[in-house]
Structure 1
């Protein structure tokens, strides 16, 4: 009986997953705008306040995008808008602190092999992830098989004609991941048809995924946006970043995030962590909503204590050697937390601190019993 119940639940979950993908597909086919809570990991990358590309929330301080979206651009003028289905209004805008383009990126759209079209953006302040309109997305850790349906979203052009610009409202469509051989044949044929010499190599390059649909494809303005799929745990996971296409006709090419997983994880912590036991340091942090903090830890398969408060600031955090230290309000110091734990000092998850308010009575009672005062 229990076994039948499990099978039934799995069947329901699979139907729900397929239905959600179908709903997203219907959004663009029917011409309806996409709600941001359906793809809360999507952000708009802005330059001088104007829309340029898409981006993906990897953590509250880290955005993934395509290298060609930020290559040669002054990071001083870059920002991201999260939490809105509109590229030019709503949500929260946060300024970019640092852009990190892959060290071997080749800025040439005809070069496919070893193009390394990926970049990491470090934000000046954290995005207020609420788990509804703004939420990080994890990288898929398994290879995506051909014919797997995947969702791509963005504010790109709906038609390839120069008369039409990028759409103001967020759109999505469903593509199917293609085999490397099929991708290679498609672009070899495209190269011959249009007389363009594409540097692909003898086989489809590692680090690239291609996906297509009979009815729709990505176009200008979608670059840097996410390609996600429903994983075996029925959660969306990131598998690609929009890189390029064949004149908005497909198949479309995406940077394979699984291939670059090690580079992403290494790059997000670009600031060296130095341990200086003889120098007392302090940083200004921001208290983070406990509900969203707990959600991010649980989704990352980390244990999250129930008696803590979270605090964070991009590039700033408590780390090894800080345990037991104070978290205080400022400029009127009052103790609110005791350094307890965290992960990936400063970049992926907020640090957590024992919430002293929950232990106030215990602290006072213990002091009284010990006759300290």
Structure 2
């Protein structure tokens, strides 16, 4: 996967950090649906200097989870980041919490996007007082999600494939998990995937820029994090997600949060 992510990192630093993948075309949760108030109570808008850059998920009263590439280079500057919780509106409603600490997974590799996850810590018990917010369950280590399983991905990504305009309202769509060997074959020319990743896809719908770091869930379990892809809703390439049940990932989350 070397060379694969030079385009990601260029876009990441030139824009806002919400890049979903290599050669990503601007796009929202492509052909998704608008969420209703109270849906996705674990969904977070991660903001840098008050601007939405990525999604994130509520894990516990003082912890959230996002993609490592969303905070890369800013680990020592957590005060630049805030979280909007408890609202489906990107720029209003809910509550704003400050990020106190940023912890990237120690094995994160920006060259191939392996171990693309980071934990965000807020003030103790800060999430507990926010209405319409609740944590999402994490999978156990090695917990399997069979191929062709329906999964929900959500975010405030770009509004169209031609304009870099973020969606004002949270959107979501349904994708299907993809056989690991098939995904490896489909993405082999772009470096392939690792055991810390899995793929999901659906015809004409996908996550994209601005959705990075956000949740993909099955039956109210957070199985992954939006990480990277080739384009958006490209019929030939599935989207790639960080696999949260991968033992080195799940053990690290538990070590850091005791969850």
Identify the TM-score tier after normalising by the shorter chain: 0.7 to 0.9
3-state DSSP of counterpart to 1:68: helix
Cα distance, 1:174–1:131 mapped onto 2, change above 3 Å = farther
Number of the residue aligned with 2:242: 255
CA distance in 2, matches of 1:33, 1:225: 16
Deviation readout 1:298-335 (Å, 9 max, x if unpaired): xxxxxxxxxxxxxxxxxxxxxxxxxxxxxxxxxxxxxx
Cα distance, 1:227–1:32 mapped onto 2, change above 3 Å = closer
Number of the residue aligned with 2:34: 33
CA distance in 2, matches of 1:211, 1:69: 20
Number of the residue aligned with 1:84: 87
Q: Are 1:97 and 1:122, in contact at CA under 8 Å, matched by a contact in 2?
A: yes
Shift of 1:124: 2.3
Number of the residue aligned with 2:64: 63
Deviation readout 1:41-87 (Å, 9 max, x if unpaired): 10000111111100000001000000000111221111101000011
CA distance in 2, matches of 1:101, 1:78: 14
Shift of 1:28: 7.6
CA distance in 2, matches of 1:222, 1:32: 14
Could you say what the CA RMSD is over the residues aligned between the two structures, in angstroms? 2.0
Q: Does 1:215 align with 2:204?
A: yes
3-state DSSP of counterpart to 1:135: coil
CA distance in 2, matches of 1:205, 1:152: 21
Instruction: Structure 1 unaligned segments of length 5 or more: list them.
Output: 1-26, 192-197, 231-235, 269-343, 349-373
Cα distance, 1:210–1:132 mapped onto 2, change above 3 Å = farther
CA distance in 2, matches of 1:50, 1:126: 24
CA distance in 2, matches of 1:148, 1:179: 10
Number of the residue aligned with 2:226: 242
TM-score of the two chains, using structure 1 as the length reference: 0.56
Number of the residue aligned with 2:176: 176
Shift of 1:131: 9.3
Q: Looking at both structures, which has the greater relative contact order when contacts are Cα pairs under 8 Å and sequence separation is at least 6?
A: 2
Q: Are 1:150 and 1:228, in contact at CA under 8 Å, matched by a contact in 2?
A: yes
Q: Does 1:228 align with 2:217?
A: yes
Shift of 1:177: 0.2
Q: Are 2:95 and 2:130, in contact at CA under 8 Å, matched by a contact in 1?
A: no
CA distance in 2, matches of 1:127, 1:145: 35
Q: Does 1:199 align with 2:214?
A: no
TM-score of the two chains, using structure 2 as the length reference: 0.80
Corresponding residue pairs, total: 222
Number of the residue aligned with 2:18: none
Task: Map 1:121-132 to 2 at 5 A.
Answer: 121-129=120-128
Query: After TM superposition, what 4+ stretches of structure 1 lie above 2 angstroms from structure 2?
Result: 124-132, 158-161
CA distance in 1, matches of 2:213, 2:33: 22
3-state DSSP of counterpart to 1:51: strand
Q: Are 1:45 and 1:80, in contact at CA under 8 Å, matched by a contact in 2?
A: yes
Shift of 1:125: 4.5
CA distance in 1, matches of 2:34, 2:191: 37
Task: Map 1:139-150 to 2 at 5 A.
Answer: 139-141=138-140, 142-150=143-151
Shift of 1:36: 4.0
Q: Are 2:46 and 2:84, in contact at CA under 8 Å, matched by a contact in 1?
A: yes
CA distance in 2, matches of 1:77, 1:59: 21
CA distance in 2, matches of 1:33, 1:217: 14
